[in-house]
């Protein structure tokens, strides 16, 4: 795990802004790397159900992370329940199953 996201806010019709909190200094370096975001190198996982979300888009403007916030689209988990208010994600995680 490299970070958690929380405090979802509606940015517009399709985009949501999230507070992003790295779990370490090394993780802070990873989430500050715009190339990793543009290449979709992060996997999002619900911390409760462990469901994985793929296909998340990051806003194309850089820097991707601004003042501790990131703008994302299509952050939906494979579940009948609503997404919890915080999530975790992993750099390079290739596990696509629950």
- How many Cβ atoms from other residues are within 10 Å of residue 80's Cβ? 6
Task: Give the Cα separation of 57 and 93 in Å (integer).
Answer: 16
**What pLDDT was estimated at residue 31?**
95
In 3-state terms, what secondary structure has residue 24?
coil
Min mean pLDDT across 27-31, 61-65, 67-71, 91-95 is at: 91-95
The two tokens of residue 81 are 């329940």
Task: Give the Cα separation of 82 and 12 in Å (integer).
Answer: 19
**What pLDDT was estimated at residue 90?**
55
HEC assignment per residue over 30-92 = HHCCHHHHHCCCEEEECCCCCCEECCCEECCCCCCEECCEEEEECCCCCCCCCCCCCEEEEEC
Residue 83 has pLDDT above 50, yes or no: no
Please report, in angstroms and rounded to a whole number, the separation of the first and last CA atoms in the chain: 16
**What pLDDT was estimated at residue 47?**
86
State the pTM of this model. 0.74
């Amino acid at each position: 795990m490299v970070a958690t996201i929380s405090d979802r806010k509606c940015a517009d019709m399709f985009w949501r802004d999230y507070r992003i909190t790295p779990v370490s200094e090394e993780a802070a370096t990873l989430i500050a790397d715009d190339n990793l975001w543009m290449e979709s190198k992060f996997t999002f996982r619900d911390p409760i159900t462990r469901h994985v979300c793929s296909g998340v888009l990051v806003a194309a403007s850089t820097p991707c992370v601004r003042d501790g916030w990131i703008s994302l689209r299509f952050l939906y988990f494979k579940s009948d329940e609503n997404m919890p208010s915080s999530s975790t994600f992993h750099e390079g995680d290739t596990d696509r199953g629950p």
